C-alpha cells in the first residue's frame, strides 16, 4: 500500500480481536511490525489509539497506514536447513487444507518485543508442495506446549478463524498442578481482567469459563487436570487453576500465594494442548492428539502418575 486507508469493519468480523483481523486481511504483516505501528499510533480504531487485543465492532473505521516492502521483509528472510528441519519435525498432521504442529514449550507463536525466533517467522518451511505459506488461525502461549493448527490456504484460514472465534472447535489441555481440587470435576466460571502485568479473576472482568476434570492425583499433593476452555481469555487456564487453589507446576506467573519448589521438575510450564476436535470442520469425526513432551512425562513419573491417555 502507498497511502493511508480507512477500512470499515464488516459484520462477519464483529467481535474479532485487532491482531486476528490483521492476520486475516494483511497476512504478510509480521506481528512485530503490527505492534510497532500500534505503539506509534499509526493504526487507529475510530480515530483512537488501539491495541493488539482491541475488540472490533461492525461499522468501526480502522486506519491503516502505508505498509511497505520493508514492513514485510522480515517474514521472507531465508530459512536455514536447521530451522526447516526443526519446523517439519513439529508436524503431526497434514492434509490439503490443514497442518497441525506439536509446539514445544519456550517458542513463541508470533513475534514481539525481544522475540527474534517464532513459529510465524518460520512458516515458509512448511509450504511443502504449495506456493502459499501456511497461516496462523489461533495461538497458544509461548510457555504452553502442544497443538497449534495452521491453515494451508486462505479459504480454510477463514473457516478456522471463524470456528476458533465462535468456539465450535473443542480444545483439551492437560495440566500438572500442585494440590487437588475439592471437586473431581466441575466448571470454573470466574471473570478475568488485566491487573498490573498479568491477568486475574475480578468481579469486573470479562466472562471466562473453563470445564475441568481430575485425570489422576497423588493424594492432595499433585493432580493431573484435564481442562476444556469454553471461552478464550488470555492465560485463562493458568488463571483459573490458580484461582482454584491448584497452580500449574512450572508457572512463574500464576503460582498462588507461594512460589513452589522446582527440585523434582523441569523449570517449564506443565500445560499442554493435548487434543483438538475438528469434527465440526470436517463433517465427520476428526480428533488429533499431541504427545506430551518428555519433561512433562518425566514429571508425571516423578510424582507417581501413570498417564496412558484420555
Domain locations in the chain? 5-68, 78-165, 170-303
The answer to whether 291 and 308 have CB atoms below 8 angstroms apart is: no
Element (DSSP H or E) covering residue 162: helix 154-165
Predicted confidence band at 145 (pLDDT cuts at 50, 70, 90)? very high
The answer to whether 260 and 269 have CB atoms below 8 angstroms apart is: no
77 pLDDT higher than 70: no
90 pLDDT higher than 50: yes
For the structural domain made of 170-303, what CATH number should be given?
3.30.2350.10
pLDDT the model gives residue 2: 55
pLDDT the model gives residue 175: 98
70 pLDDT higher than 60: no
Q: Do domains 78-165 and 170-303 have the same CATH topology?
A: yes
**Quick count: other Cβ atoms within 10 Å of Cβ 91?**
15
Which has more pLDDT, 29 or 128? 128
Predicted confidence band at 199 (pLDDT cuts at 50, 70, 90)? very high
Superfamily of domain 5-68: RNA-binding S4 domain (3.10.290.10)
Mean pLDDT of 37-45: 88
**Quick count: other Cβ atoms within 10 Å of Cβ 141?**
18
pLDDT the model gives residue 1: 43
277 pLDDT higher than 80: yes
22 pLDDT higher than 70: yes
pLDDT the model gives residue 118: 87
Average pLDDT, the chain: 89
| Annotated catalytic residue within 71, 141, 216, 251 | 141
Cα distances (angstroms) measured from residue 302 to each of 119, 178, 257, 262, 264:
31, 13, 24, 12, 7
310 pLDDT higher than 70: yes
Which of 17-31, 41-55, 218-232 has the weakest average pLDDT? 17-31
Q: Is 131 in the active site?
A: no
260 pLDDT higher than 80: no
Q: Looking at the domain 78-165, which fold is it?
A: Pseudouridine synthase (3.30.2350)
Predicted confidence band at 132 (pLDDT cuts at 50, 70, 90)? confident
E-only strand ranges, the chain: 5-8, 44-45, 48-49, 61-64, 91-94, 98-103, 135-136, 145-151, 170-178, 185-189, 192-195, 198-201, 209-218, 222-229, 271-277, 287-289
pLDDT the model gives residue 262: 66
Cell (9 digits) for 67: 505498509
Cell (9 digits) for 233: 481469555
103 pLDDT higher than 90: yes
Pure H helices in 246-293: 279-282
Which of 161-170, 205-214, 284-293 has the weakest average pLDDT? 161-170
65 phi, psi to nearest 5 deg: -75, 170
Amino acid at each position: 500500500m502507498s497511502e493511508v486507508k480507512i477500512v470499515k469493519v464488516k459484520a462477519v468480523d464483529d467481535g474479532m480481536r485487532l491482531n486476528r483481523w490483521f492476520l486475516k486481511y494483511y497476512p504478510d504483516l509480521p506481528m512485530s511490525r503490527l505492534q510497532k505501528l500500534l505503539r506509534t499510533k499509526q493504526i487507529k480504531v475510530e480515530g483512537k489509539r488501539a491495541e493488539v487485543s482491541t475488540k472490533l465492532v461492525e461499522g468501526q473505521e480502522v486506519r491503516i497506514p502505508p505498509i511497505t516492502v520493508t514492513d514485510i521483509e522480515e517474514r521472507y528472510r531465508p530459512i536455514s536447513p536447521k530451522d526447516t528441519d526443526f519446523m517439519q519435525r513439529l508436524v503431526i498432521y497434514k492434509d490439503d487444507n490443514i497442518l497441525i504442529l506439536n509446539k514445544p514449550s519456550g517458542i513463541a507463536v508470533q513475534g514481539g518485543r525481544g522475540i527474534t525466533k517464532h513459529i510465524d517467522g518460520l512458516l515458509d518451511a512448511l509450504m511443502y508442495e504449495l506456493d502459499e505459506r501456511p497461516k496462523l488461525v489461533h495461538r497458544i502461549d509461548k510457555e504452553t506446549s502442544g497443538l497449534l493448527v495452521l491453515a494451508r490456504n486462505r479459504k480454510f484460514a477463514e473457516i478456522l478463524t471463524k470456528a476458533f472465534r465462535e468456539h465450535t472447535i473443542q480444545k483439551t489441555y492437560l495440566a500438572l498442578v500442585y494440590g487437588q481440587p475439592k471437586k473431581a470435576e466441575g466448571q470454573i466460571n470466574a471473570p478475568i481482567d488485566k491487573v498490573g502485568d498479568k491477568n486475574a479473576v475480578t468481579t469486573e472482568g470479562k466472562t471466562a469459563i473453563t470445564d475441568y476434570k481430575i485425570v489422576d492425583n497423588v493424594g492432595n499433593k499433585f493432580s493431573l487436570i484435564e481442562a476444556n476452555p469454553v471461552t478464550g481469555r488470555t492465560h485463562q487456564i493458568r488463571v483459573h487453576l490458580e484461582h482454584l487453589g491448584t497452580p500449574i507446576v512450572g508457572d512463574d506467573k500464576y503460582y498462588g500465594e507461594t512460589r513452589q519448589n522446582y527440585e523434582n521438575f523441569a523449570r517449564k510450564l506443565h500445560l499442554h494442548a493435548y487434543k483438538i476436535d475438528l469434527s465440526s470442520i470436517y463433517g465427520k469425526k476428526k480428533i488429533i492428539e499431541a504427545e506430551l513432551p518428555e519433561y512433562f512425562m518425566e514429571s508425571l513419573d516423578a510424582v507417581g502418575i501413570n498417564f496412558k491417555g484420555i
